[in-house]
């Protein structure tokens, strides 16, 4: 356990008050579950509000009854007074407060059961876009089987079209959660779960793994970009283009370093490095063919800037403890060359 805990405790208190004040002002809540942006999320929101209102009604009844009882019947300690009436049962009252909750529960159960059957359709229209989501220990891999595109940690989906996410896991149980676009669904190894939704409002939405999956469970985030129809077409076209092969300069030097460094064992850049045959280990890294096109790095932990990329390559463990990417020991010029090359992979 961290030995410096005692000495720095006071520092945290000072920091708390300062950061608390500034943070409260920030309006944006990217992971807000109450901002539905898809049909699935709106359905959930409607049931959410109904049940919450019924709950608040019951809560108010209990609070009023309790505080009335306390203030009317509490006495100063030891104050003499006549013995209270020893009534201890009243059939009408007991039947009432059994029937009441049952009635409320029926009113809650009807929309719930209807929503349950709507959110898990058995079959979906053919023209729905299938997106295979493969969860690894601490990053997400997305594949578009019908379009042939493949990306990591950032998924692009067209607005106003049925999307059918097929969730598979490559190791342990994860949970694919996009608060704005609908609830979460566990990604269980050995079975393919599914989420089917129609995103309505284009924009960038945050997502995070919700089922505890090991050391870096907190660093397993992803972004969902809901594009307009033509925006999505443009993105797919970019993804299908072959990777940029820099002719000269720092980037080409970086390309050479990339090829003989161990990067090629786990990562794939289409056309340059496939997975080397002799490597049987099950692990694979994200596909880097269009790495520069992504706005975040290391599963949404850092923004995709050259110096962030440099810190990540130099020592992945500080950014994502337990990450399976080894420390390559690249320094100085070689490192900047490799970073330049990777940043050129638009």
170 binds other proteins (CB under 8 A): yes
Smallest gap from residue 78 Cβ to other proteins (A): 5
Burial of residue 125, with CB atoms counted within 10 A of its CB: 0-12 exposed, 13-18 middle, 19 or more buried: exposed
- For residues 193 and 314, which CB has a smaller minimum distance to other proteins in the complex? 193
Smallest gap from residue 131 Cβ to other proteins (A): 14
278 binds other proteins (CB under 8 A): no
DSSP string, 19-55: HHHHHHH----TT-TT---BHHHHHHHHHHHHHHHHH
The footprint of other proteins on residues 82-111 (CB under 8 A) is 82-90, 93-94, 97-98, 100-102, 105, 108-109
Number of residues in the chain: 346
53 binds other proteins (CB under 8 A): no
Cβ distance 238 to 293 under 8 Å?
A: yes
Selected binder of other proteins within 113, 229, 237, 245 (CB under 8 A): 113
- Beta-carbon contacts of 180 under 8 Å, excluding residues fewer than 6 positions away, are 32, 35, 36, 37, 38, 41, 205, 206
- For residues 23 and 127, which CB has a smaller minimum distance to other proteins in the complex? 23
Strand pairing partners for 177? 184, 208
The footprint of other proteins on residues 219-248 (CB under 8 A) is none
74 binds other proteins (CB under 8 A): yes
The footprint of other proteins on residues 4-23 (CB under 8 A) is 5, 8-9, 12-13, 15-17, 19-21, 23
User: What is the spatial distance between Cα 261 and Cα 326, in angstroms, rounded to a whole number?
Assistant: 12
Selected binder of other proteins within 130, 193, 252, 311 (CB under 8 A): 193
Tokens 């496939």 -> residue:
274
332 binds other proteins (CB under 8 A): no
112 binds other proteins (CB under 8 A): yes
- For residues 85 and 247, which CB has a smaller minimum distance to other proteins in the complex? 85
Strands 129-136 and 162-169: parallel
């Amino acid at each position: 356990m961290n030995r410096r805990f005692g000495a720095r405790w006071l520092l945290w208190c000072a920091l708390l008050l300062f950061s608390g004040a500034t943070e409260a002002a920030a309006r944006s809540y990217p992971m807000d579950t109450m901002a539905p942006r898809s049909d699935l999320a709106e359905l959930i929101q409607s049931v959410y509000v109904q049940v919450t209102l019924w709950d608040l009604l019951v809560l108010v009844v209990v609070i009023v009854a309790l505080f009335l009882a306390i203030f009317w019947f509490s006495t100063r300690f030891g104050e003499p007074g006549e013995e209270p009436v020893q009534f201890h049962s009243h059939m009408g009252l007991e039947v009432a407060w059994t029937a009441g909750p049952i009635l409320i529960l029926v009113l809650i159960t009807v929309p719930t059961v209807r929503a349950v059957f709507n959110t898990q359709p058995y079959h979906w229209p053919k023209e729905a876009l299938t997106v295979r989501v493969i969860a690894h220990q601490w990053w997400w891999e997305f594949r578009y089987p019908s379009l042939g595109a493949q990306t990591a940690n950032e998924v692009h989906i067209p607005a106003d079209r049925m999307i059918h996410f097929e969730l598979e896991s490559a190791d342990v149980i994860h949970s694919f959660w996009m608060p704005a676009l609908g609830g979460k669904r566990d990604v269980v190894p050995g079975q393919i779960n599914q989420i089917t939704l129609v995103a309505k409002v284009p924009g960038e939405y945050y997502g995070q793994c919700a089922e505890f999956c090991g050391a870096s469970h907190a660093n397993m985030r992803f972004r969902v970009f809901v594009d307009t129809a033509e925006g999505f077409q443009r993105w797919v076209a970019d993804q299908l283009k072959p990777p940029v092969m820099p002719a000269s300069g720092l980037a080409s030097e970086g390309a050479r370093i990339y090829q003989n460094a161990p990067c090629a064992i786990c990562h794939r850049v289409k056309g340059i490095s496939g997975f080397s045959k002799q490597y049987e280990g099950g692990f694979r890294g994200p596909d880097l063919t269009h790495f520069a096109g992504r706005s975040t790095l290391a599963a949404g932990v850092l923004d995709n800037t050259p110096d962030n990329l440099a810190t990540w390559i130099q020592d992945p463990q500080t950014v994502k403890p337990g990450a399976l990417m080894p420390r390559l020991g690249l320094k100085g010029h070689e490192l900047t060359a490799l970073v330049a090359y990777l940043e050129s992979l638009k």
